[in-house]
Amino acid sequence: MAPIELQKFRLSNKKHKQKLRKIPPPCHKQGERFLKGPIPLKWLIRASKLPGKSFHVAILICYRGGIEKSRTIKLSNITIRIFGLTRYSKKRALKHLESAGLITVERYTGRSPIVTILEI
């Protein structure tokens, strides 16, 4: 009987090191939309625990804030359609986010609400 060659069954260091290398996160291409950060994790966690579509609206508020480079934004119904939301779900979500202390909202009849992102 021939001796068993254990080297055949051992993983080489090259294959093992390739598995451990860091893969960069996905990046947007030029002209594509993206969410600008950093967004405080405490803020996101609090928003994620709210009912309904509150988290969706919170992400949209952060998205618009990044585009406008401002903590105060106008949240139109056109913007919320990106996520397939209705004006009614937007209204409910804004109330939840406001009661959680994440935003303040200035409401005007017949106009888009003005939303200000608050620090926790």
Q: How wide is the angle at C-alpha 108 spanned by C-alphas 102 and 114, nearest 5°? A: 35
Instruction: Compute the residue count for the chain.
Output: 120
Instruction: Say what the pLDDT of residue 31 is.
Output: 86
How far apart CA 11 and CA 37 sit, in angstroms, is: 41
Residue 31 lies in a domain: no
Residue 110 lies in a domain: yes
Instruction: Say what the pLDDT of residue 80 is.
Output: 93
Digitized pLDDT (tens) for each residue of the chain, 120 residues in all: 677 777 777 666 655 555 666 777 778 788 888 888 889 999 999 999 999 999 999 999 999 999 999 999 999 999 899 889 999 999 999 999 999 999 999 999 999 999 999 998
Instruction: Say what the pLDDT of residue 23 is.
Output: 77
The pTM for the full model equals 0.77
CB–CB of 114/106 below 8 Å?
A: yes
Tokens of 119: 């620090």
Residue 98 lies in a domain: yes
Tokens of 88: 């009614």
* CA dist 23 → 3, 18, 28, 94 (Å): 41, 10, 15, 37
Residue 72 lies in a domain: yes
Residue 63 lies in a domain: yes
Residue 47 lies in a domain: no
Instruction: Say what the pLDDT of residue 27 is.
Output: 82
Indicate which CATH number applies to the domain containing 85: 1.10.10.10
Domain that holds residue 60: 52-117
How far apart CA 114 and CA 119 sit, in angstroms, is: 17
Residue 76 lies in a domain: yes
Residue 22 lies in a domain: no
For the chain, how many structural domains are there in total? Answer: 1
User: Between 41-48 and 54-68, two packed helices, what is the crossing angle to 10 degrees?
Assistant: 150
